[in-house]
């Protein structure tokens, strides 16, 4: 099922997928954002995907924990404007041995979003006039 993006008004858009909607952008330049910016949504997708993999590992291994939090930092370039590096810091309140730490990091790196970003996918843009 494809994601559908529709203009609401001005520079504000709605993305829809499988009955879920996300609003991003702003009506006019300099105005307040409705939801996260597209760049923040991309960064969030990386953190959400990684978090789901880490949580699945903890559950599968029966590892009790007192909380999981991921903070994502990024470095950017201006020409062309883009993110050039992401650093994910996983804060986990749990007792892990060295094998578990290594396995958890391996699992964190299996995330679909991260793997897609690492691969530098080809992006095709088509224009359909109505």
Q: What is the pLDDT of residues 37-75, one digit of tens each?
A: 899 999 999 999 999 999 999 999 999 999 999 999 999
**HSE-up (13 A, CA, CB side) for residue 76:** 9
pTM: predicted TM-score of the whole model, two decimal places: 0.89
Identify whether the C-beta of residue 82 lies closer than 8 Å to the C-beta of residue 76: yes
Domain boundaries, the chain: 1-35, 37-119
**Would you say the C-alpha torsion 54, 16, 22, 119 has a positive or negative sign?**
positive
- Tell me which CATH code domain 37-119 carries: 3.30.300.20
- The mean per-residue pLDDT over the stretch 19-39 comes to 88
Question: Cβ-count burial of 16 within 10 angstroms (0-12 exposed, 13-18 middle, 19+ buried)?
Answer: middle
How far is the C-alpha of 25 from the C-alpha of 12, rounded, in Å? Answer: 4
């Amino acid at each position: 099922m494809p994601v559908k993006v529709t203009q609401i008004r001005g520079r504000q858009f709605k993305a829809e997928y499988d009955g879920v909607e996300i609003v991003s952008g702003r009506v006019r330049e300099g105005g307040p954002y409705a939801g996260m910016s597209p760049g923040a949504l991309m960064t969030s997708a990386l953190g959400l995907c990684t978090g789901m993999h880490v949580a699945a590992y903890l559950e599968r291994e029966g590892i009790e924990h007192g909380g999981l939090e991921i903070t994502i930092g990024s470095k950017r370039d201006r020409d062309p404007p883009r993110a050039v590096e992401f650093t994910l810091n996983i804060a986990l309140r749990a007792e892990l041995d060295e094998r578990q730490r290594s396995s958890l990091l391996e699992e964190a790196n299996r995330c679909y979003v991260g793997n897609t970003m690492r691969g530098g996918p080809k992006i095709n843009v088509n224009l359909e006039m109505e």
